[in-house]
Amino acid sequence: MSERALGAYCYHAARGFLDHLLEELPERDRLDGELLTVSGPRQRVFWTRNVWLSPLLIEFSSVREAANKLRDIQRNWAPLPARLHRRAALIAEKLPPLPRRPRPFPFAVPDTPMGAFTLLDEGLMLASPSCSNPFPNGEFDFEEDHEGPPSRAYRKLWEALLLTGKVPRPGERCLDAGAAPGGWTWAMAGLGASVLAIDRAELEPRIAAMSGVETMKGDAFALLPETLGAVDWLLSDVICYPSALLAWVERWVASGLAKNIICTIKMQGADFDRATAARFAAIPGSRVVHLWHNRHELCFIRVEGDRGLGS
């Protein structure tokens, strides 16, 4: 054997959440660092940063041969050091460099395949030429704005928009629930949307004063489609139990009045409310992912024409 398809998928855990992924995938063939290999069809799990879609076992006798074998398959390979870190780094040095510099929002996500590899022993690697995430090991950074936004939460909204391939058009109507201090509102208004920002707390005054921004103080979940009417973007970053958010989202989905929905499902304490996450994921036309810029939370996406990147 020099190269052999594995007939499995490899699931790379979201940063800091290996325990949740182990809970989601109790039956596995291998565990290499944060990478779980599970044979059979692809499993729908939430706590991944990347899924290896076509893993191969590749034998090699030298660093040079390993790099040549990978390069013969394709250009882009992200090393995932689980063991033999030094040897993996030497192989990576012989491969073409990966684009790692921070990028301004929005940017065109490269559609060239992004592979990943890890060493199992001195002469054997696990490598997948195709992965679910277009970025190396799911990692990337935006060029940050250190003056405009009042919090760094806008990066997860930008990431969700980037992965769907859709940004709001000027004048589109947006409801931003749990908006304070105003990072998401800043991002949406900056793209030209007209934003109704609601929170129990005050938005930062300079965000509230942005053109196209209207603020409201109170309980976001009291804003229902029957009273508010149609919105192009329904957003929520409210800190609440996942089930409370689900009940609100289900009302909006049933009404047909929210064209696009992006919400953060915040997990409470150390727990992972798997049953509620699964109910979100079962909403037709939606997906639930852990974004690179998410913490102990998942992102619910239901966007018309979603390109589905990162899943």
Q: Find the shortest distance in angstroms from Cβ 259 to ligand SAM.
A: 20
Q: Is 80 in the site for ligand SAM (CB under 6 A)?
A: no
Q: Is 174 in the site for ligand SAM (CB under 6 A)?
A: no
Distance (Å, rounded) from C-alpha 112 to C-alpha 213? 38
Contact predicate 136/166, CB 8 Å: no
Q: Is 179 in the site for ligand SAM (CB under 6 A)?
A: yes
- Which CB sits closer to ligand SAM, 151 or 255? 151
Scanning residues 203 to 222, which ones bind ligand SAM (CB under 6 A)? 219-221
- Which CB sits closer to ligand SAM, 183 or 212? 183
Nearest to 52 by CA among 95, 5, 12, 107: 12
Establish whether 217 is a catalytic residue.
no
Angle (nearest 5°) at CA 150 between 148 and 155: 80
Q: Which of 168, 182, 212, 310 binds ligand SAM (CB under 6 A)?
A: 182
Q: Which of 136, 138, 168, 178 binds ligand SAM (CB under 6 A)?
A: 178
Residue nearest to ligand SAM (CB): 183
Contact predicate 59/124, CB 8 Å: yes
Q: Is 202 in the site for ligand SAM (CB under 6 A)?
A: no
Q: Find the shortest distance in angstroms from Cβ 220 to ligand SAM.
A: 4
Scanning residues 129 to 168, which ones bind ligand SAM (CB under 6 A)? 151, 153-154
Q: Is 239 in the site for ligand SAM (CB under 6 A)?
A: yes
Please report where in the chains the tokens 């993996």 appear, as a residue. Answer: 88
- Which CB sits closer to ligand SAM, 66 or 161? 161
- Which CB sits closer to ligand SAM, 65 or 297? 297
According to DSSP, the residues that pair with 294 across neighbouring strands are none
Nearest to 50 by CA among 71, 29, 36: 36
- Which CB sits closer to ligand SAM, 12 or 266? 266
Q: Where are the beta strands (DSSP E) in the chain?
A: 3-5, 8-13, 30-32, 35-39, 48-52, 56-59, 77-79, 115-121, 124-128, 173-177, 194-199, 213-217, 231-236, 258-266, 287-289, 297-302
Nearest to 175 by CA among 192, 191, 194, 159: 194
Q: Is 237 in the site for ligand SAM (CB under 6 A)?
A: yes
Nearest to 60 by CA among 49, 73, 41, 45: 73
Q: Which of 115, 134, 138, 181 binds ligand SAM (CB under 6 A)?
A: 181
Q: Which of 183, 212, 225, 242 binds ligand SAM (CB under 6 A)?
A: 183
DSSP state at residue 81: -
Q: Which of 8, 56, 213, 240 binds ligand SAM (CB under 6 A)?
A: 240
Q: Is 195 in the site for ligand SAM (CB under 6 A)?
A: no
Q: Find the shortest distance in angstroms from Cβ 97 to ligand SAM.
A: 33
Contact predicate 159/14, CB 8 Å: no
DSSP state at residue 210: S
Q: Is 180 in the site for ligand SAM (CB under 6 A)?
A: yes
Size of the site for ligand SAM (CB under 6 A): 22
Pairing label, strands 35-39, 30-32: antiparallel
Q: Which of 24, 34, 159, 199 binds ligand SAM (CB under 6 A)?
A: 199
Tokens of 100: 């790692």
**What are the residue numbers of the active site?**
266
Residues that bind ligand SAM (CB under 6 A): 151, 153-154, 177-184, 198-201, 219-221, 237-240
